[in-house]
Amino acid sequence: MLLIVSGLRAQNRESGQEILNGVDLTVRKGEIHAIMGPNGSGKSTLANVIMGNPKYRVTGGDVLFQGESIVELTTDQRVKKGLFMTFQHPFEITGVRLRSLIMASLDAVGRRFGVSNSIKKIDEIADSSGLERRFLDRYVNVGFSGGEKKRSEVIQFGLLRPKVAILDEIDSGLDIDSLRKIADALKSLKEEDMSLILITHYQRLLDYLVPDYVHVYDSGRVIRTGGPELAMVVEKQGYSPVLEHVRG
Amino acid sequence: MEKALSLSHGEFTLVEPHVSRMTLASYGKRELKQMLRISSKDAGKLRSSSYLEYAGKGFPKWKRASLDSLKLPTLDMEAFVRTEGGTDFRSMNSITSEDLSIINKLSFEGSDRKFVTMADAFFNAGSVITVGSTDRTAAPIVITVEGDTPTIMSNLFVLDKQVEVTVVIRNKTGSVFSLMNNRFFVDEGSSLNLLFINEADADAFVLSNSYCLLSANAQLNMFDLNLSGKVVVPSHVSRLGGDSAVSNNWALYSAAGSSVFDLSYRLRHSARKTRGIIDGIGVLGGSAKSVFRGAIDIDKGAKGSSSSEHSDALLVSGKAVSDAIPTLSVKENDVEASHAATVGSIDQDTVYYLQNRGLTQEEAERLIVSGKFDPLIEKIGEVIGGGIDGGVRVAIIEQLGTLSGSN
Amino acid sequence: MNRTTTRQTSSRSLSSSRDGSRGFSERVVREISEYKKEPRWMLEKRLKSLELYQSLDDPGFGVTTDSLNINTIVPYLRPEVQAARNWEDVPEEIRSTFDKLGIPEAERKALAGVGAQYDSEIVYQSIKRELESIGVVFLDMESAVREYPEIVKRYFMRAITPSDHKYAALHGAFWSGGSFVYVPEGVSVPLPLQAYFRMSMEGSGQFEHTLIIAEKGSSVEFVEGCSAPRFNEINLHVGMVELFVRDGARVKYSTIQNWSKNTLNLNSKRAIVGEDGTVEWVSGSLGSNKTMLYPASLLVGEGAKSEHLAITYAGKGQHMDTGAKVFHMAPGTSSVIDARSISINGGWAFYRGKLHIASNAKGSKANVKCTALMMDDNSRSDTVPVIEVKTRDADVGHEARIGRISDDQIYYLTTRGLSEDQAKALIVKGFAEPISKEFPLEYAVELNRLLNLELEGAIG
């Protein structure tokens, strides 16, 4: 078991609002999990709590990574252990060039290739992910289109080689072509024992990255878990039948 | 005392900017004695202590709004001031010791202490207006300054908790001198909609100082319209003293001829999650001069507060000049504070475009200028009430009319 | 005046008093002038300045200078006195910073005003030869007074006159050291000139005067100061920089200042820019206890341009009053100001600016942007720009923003594996980046390392 989330409860630190109401999730090495849910169901929040966003406070349950509880660790400590998250709306950081950020990250997680090798690797990954090299010299996410931001996130995922990567709506706002490109990039970057948690709204991405498990998420909990066919059901019938089925 | 600039931080101090002083023939002991005769004990205390400070310093030698040509006419015991609306008010001459203690708490610098103390010593108009939670007045309180004699007014407004009040102070004086102090205490959860309209005589010296202390969850929406006068010096300070207080200030000014407008708006944030804006739009024609001072001051501990200032000055004629001094003074980092200022002229591309729709150059320019003001006038209408809006709109259009063709 | 000559004369005068005399008096001025073997006209200039210093009032704004104990100050230290100083006398804080910055041994001593020999002399001599071949003069100020008196007479303290303000007058009386650069018409100096090359021992740099004249169509870049902490025995620095940018010329003047934390740093810098000329000021102010620095650009020729880039750091025990002044005095002129500050640990960063558009400056454009980063709630940050516009035919914009590093940005960086402190440091570096990239590479690297050090000390 690589990542075990058991009975996780959390609240918004400032407002006190309960946002996770007992989430259970088990991810093994190499598995692809998809988390789907209606808008506003808080899927991103789940990702952020797993990553340790200081905005939230865990009030119950636990998150175990490789057998060890990580809820007391800071975000960067979790990243150093092998967790990673791509953002749906990555933040702009004026003054910091993408390339510099990547170099600093690589250093932080202990992946040192030497300067010239790093530059080569970064260029290669940019090429294979479809992000023009000139973006590497731009300030992080400043002036990047939606697609370019996503690609920039994917590159960072590829270089940092996490054990478990949470991809938060990496497919939102992309047209068919871009989606396929991103999916291809992810497929080629995913190593055999890397696990992916795809938080997605639509089913399309799952055509390219076929999940081992699909979870339907709502109101701070995983409502139902199934195989890839569950995604088809949701696609055809929407979320209501699934949710009602559980409630009823 | 609410000071305009805090000069120290930790072990550091700033050199205090020096203000030169000058003497002018002005009101003195004789006028004070006359006023004391009609004052209550506490009103007398206010007058006397203010006079003491007033007499101890000269008039400020301002660089732009020069007071050199100020000739103070004889002061009457009572000015022509009409008050409508409001149910609980009494003359400033009959203040009680309770009123006096509130006035002393709301001590402030204004444009200069000389004028604040002058108003509190020699006022020949003014009231204490209280709005209690039992009289949720729907109609606005309107104070109109008229007549041809100098008006020196000192007002105190006290709003109890959870009330909403609209106050309009309209200055139509025909005299060459008008001075007022307005103090506002807004208790928790209350809101004050305030409209100042200065339509004084074209040759007048118009000085207006106000200080508003906002408690928790209180809100001030203030509109300050300055449409005429020779030397116009409004100075408005809001102190956001309670958590989540809000102060929105909009200033609209239009100066022509050889007027000098020295406008000052200040927000002092001393509580958490307070919000403020200062938004100034000015149009200058003839050889008018203006200086717009917007100051945002945020104390340590005012976490989560946000404050912004924006000023826009449009120079319509070749001889008009405009200065802007937007300042930020921040001692707390968990805030958002910003300011922006622009000075420019009417965009000729836009004028050309309008000419292509049949307007003359003059019509086009007037349209563009009024376009700048319209959103603000609409807002006044929303906040203050329709009837006032109409009158204000007319006043502004008239004023703008005098601007164009003054190239 | 090269080093070897100095040493010979100095050995003869060792018999006289060990220190220079104390206090700002006429006797000291005369001593200085005599020691430097100055022509009469320079002595007279000094004396006139001294008179003005004694009659002028303190500037009515800015930092307080009462910590300045005038009578104990030695305005001029003879070079041999400095050479005799001990390495042990240099404050620990400075010695350890040298360590952290990895500065070579020989350099350390020179920077601390302790060493006598310094290899830069060799570098300087070879550069000097190269420059001479294209007609460019790059000398220390004293030599320029002797070798190019006509030029110096014409320009010295004409951009900033002694009557401008009290400290300009003080400088005029006691100036010592500094650089003189003359670039003839049409010549482009191919590499940035660095005052560093000429680390003279003249004074410990407290009253340096730099004069740069760029004739028509020429271009030159000058870098002053260094990022290593400068130790200054008298804790006072009253420097002056005058730039004369003629028609079509371009001068870029960069400074990194990192005076020790007990220094009072009062500067006067001014550029006079002719038709289509350009001046660029790049300033990094990191050290000192108190600093007043407002580079001024006078755009007197049509189409003249100025660009001011500045980063100011106000840490513990620092009161930094810095800014920029631009005067548009001709049509079609344009100016840009990008001023950034970081305040932390009780520091106070105060931006003071003046933007003046004269009535004949039609078609001018001016843009000012001030950004202040406050790292905690113990510090203070002020912005007081004065904008004066005397013509409607101008485009003037000013904006300022004060705030802190956003939590969102910090969090985002931690999801890339950086610790919170590393994230903050990266963002601060990014904040300074638009300024630091204007310095020659070594300086930019130094600036970043310095900022890191400061932050480490402050946050960590």
The band of B136, judged by pLDDT with boundaries at 50, 70 and 90, is low
Interface test with C, best of A75, A155, A159, A164 (most C CBs within 10 A): A75
Q: What is the DSSP string of A204-219?
A: THHHHS--SEEEEEET
**Is A243 within a domain?**
yes
Residue B119 and residue B208: Cα distance in Å, rounded? 10
Nearest CA in chain C to B334: C404
Residue A54: its chain C contacts at CB < 8 A? 407, 411
Residue B300: its chain C contacts at CB < 8 A? 377-378
Nearest CA in chain A to C427: A96
Which one, of C166, C163, C178, C200, lies nearest residue C45 by Cα?
A: C163
CATH of the domain at A19: 3.40.50.300
Residue A110 has pLDDT above 90, yes or no: no
CB contact under 8 A, B330 and C374: yes
Tens-place pLDDT, residues B319-340: 999 999 999 999 999 999 999 9
CB contact under 8 A, C417 and A79: yes
Which one, of B303, C456, B272, C410, lies nearest residue A54 by Cα?
A: C410
Residue C436 and residue C439: Cα distance in Å, rounded? 6
**Is B393 within a domain?**
no
What's the structural domain count of chain B?
A: 1
- The tokens for C150 are 């006509």
Tens-place pLDDT, residues C149-161: 999 999 999 999 9
DSSP lists the bridge partners of residue C337 as C308, C368
Name the minimum distance, in Å, from the CA of B177 to any CA of chain C. 28
**Is B404 within a domain?**
no
Residue A46 and residue A63: Cα distance in Å, rounded? 11
Mean pLDDT estimate for chain B: 90
The band of C116, judged by pLDDT with boundaries at 50, 70 and 90, is very low
**Is B399 within a domain?**
no
Q: Give the neighbours of chain B: at least 3 Cβ pairs within 8 Å.
A: C
Q: To the nearest 5 percent, what fractions of chain A are helix, strand and coil? A: 40, 30, 30
Q: Is B103 on the interface with C (CB under 8 A)?
A: no
Residue C378: its chain B contacts at CB < 8 A? 10, 300
**Is B365 within a domain?**
no
Q: What is the DSSP letter of A133?
A: G
Residue C335 has pLDDT above 90, yes or no: yes
Residue B329: its chain C contacts at CB < 8 A? 380-383
User: How many other CB atoms are there within 10 angstroms of residue B30's CB atom?
Assistant: 9
Reported ipTM: 0.87
The radius of gyration of chain B's CA atoms, rounded to the nearest angstrom, is 21
- The tokens for B399 are 């004023």
Helix (H) or strand (E) holding C211: strand C209-214
Q: What is the DSSP letter of C92?
A: H
Q: CA angle at residue C163 from C162 to C169, to 5 degrees? A: 40
Which backbone phi and psi does C379 adopt, to 5 degrees? -95, 175
Nearest CA in chain B to C289: B12
Q: Strand, helix or coil at A145?
A: coil
Q: Is C445 on the interface with A (CB under 8 A)?
A: no
Residue C210 and residue B24: Cα distance in Å, rounded? 49
The reported pLDDT for the residue numbered C128 is: 76
Name the minimum distance, in Å, from the CA of A39 to any CA of chain C. 22
Nearest CA in chain C to B341: C398
CB contact under 8 A, B15 and C61: yes
Residue B13: its chain C contacts at CB < 8 A? 64
Residue C444 has pLDDT above 60, yes or no: yes
Residue A105: its chain C contacts at CB < 8 A? 416-418
The reported pLDDT for the residue numbered C354 is: 95
Residue B228 and residue B396: Cα distance in Å, rounded? 10
Interface test with A, best of C415, C422, C429, C447 (most A CBs within 10 A): C415
- The boundaries of the domain holding residue A225 are 3-91+161-247
Residue B387 has pLDDT above 70, yes or no: no
DSSP H helices, C281-374, are: none
CB contact under 8 A, C389 and B315: yes
Which backbone phi and psi does A61 adopt, to 5 degrees? 80, -170
Let me know: does B240 contact B272? Beta carbons within 8 Å. Answer: no
Of A100, A139, A160, the CB nearest to C417: A160
Which one, of A202, A120, A207, A213, lies nearest residue A169 by Cα?
A: A202
Name the minimum distance, in Å, from the CA of A95 to any CA of chain C. 4
Q: Strand, helix or coil at B227?
A: coil
- The tokens for C204 are 């410990």
Residue C399: its chain B contacts at CB < 8 A? 338-341
Average pLDDT over residues C391-415: 92
Q: What is the DSSP letter of C206?
A: T
Let me know: does A200 contact A239? Beta carbons within 8 Å. Answer: no
Of B14, B317, B340, the CB nearest to C399: B340
Interface test with C, best of B20, B267, B306, B343 (most C CBs within 10 A): B343
**Is B316 within a domain?**
yes
Which backbone phi and psi does C209 adopt, to 5 degrees? -125, 120
- The boundaries of the domain holding residue B129 are 8-345
Straight-line distance from the first to the last Cα atom of chain C, in angstroms, rounded to the nearest whole number:
46
Of B315, B316, B335, the CB nearest to C403: B335
Tens-place pLDDT, residues C75-94: 666 554 444 445 566 666 65
CA atoms C20, C26, C27, C32: torsion sign: positive
What's the structural domain count of chain A?
A: 1
